[in-house]
Chains A and B, each alone.
Chain A
């Protein structure tokens, strides 16, 4: 399967802990996006990379959140000092330059 993959698929953590998610985009896709989706809502944009450069960050991305894409391939999203309000599905998408975005299956985070 050459689609977008995300790991882990589910994460349960205690409030105050740090968590890290990984996204592997479709090979050779140069743009990578992170979105967050809460129950009953549509995805909300968090941040965007073109190759290894992080070009835009939403104001939703507080200073507890950091994202990297060190070699322009996979990306990681880290949340420090998690809060219950961080519980959501974290979605990754990639595109090779077209407008259609290809989404991964998401990582569901539950903060207890």
Chain B
């Protein structure tokens, strides 16, 4: 079953605007990751935030994590047409069946950036 729920399901913005996507999850986690997927292709890792971190930056990306609310947000600043893709949050559950590292993905946010 899928743990994360991204919001919104779809987002359409103009180039240069900021895009914010939210993710909620259900169980305790070790870390939360964001991935990007271009249509029909594999996923590309964007950024990872650990459960003891609250905010992280990488280039034009900013991720926040609120473990008390079991939620995260991904902000893409100054968006470009090339940012058009689906964005997924993925959680690495804490003590998930004793395994190490399998991820639980949400359904994704489909971002469209218009030039």
Contacts and interface: CB of A to CB of B under 8 A. Distances in A.
Interface residues of B, number: 27
A3 B92 CA distance: 22
A56 B96 CA distance: 11
A40 B101 contact: no
Of the four ranges (under 10, 10 to 19, 20 to 34, 35 or more), the interface on chain A belongs to 20 to 34
Interface stretch (A14-22, A71-79, A102-110): A102-110
Contact of B45 (A44, A55, A101): A101
Main DSSP-derived SS at the A contact region: strand
Interface stretch (B14-22, B62-70, B73-81, B103-111): B103-111
Given A91-B42, A91-B43, A99 B107 contact: no
Given A56-B97, A91-B43, A33 B33 contact: no
Contacts of A4: 42
A18 B1 CA distance: 26
Interface string A51-62: 000011000000
Given A99-B30, A99-B48, A103-B44, A31 B101 contact: yes
Given A99-B31, A99-B33, A100-B33, A43 B99 contact: no
14 contacts: A33-B101, A42-B2, A42-B106, A43-B43, A43-B103, A44-B2, A45-B103, A55-B99, A56-B97, A91-B43, A95-B101, A99-B101, A101-B33, A104-B42
Interface of B: 2, 4, 30-31, 33, 35, 40-45, 48, 88, 90, 92, 97, 99-108
Interface of A: 4, 31, 33, 35, 40-45, 48, 50, 55-56, 89, 91, 93, 95, 99-106, 108
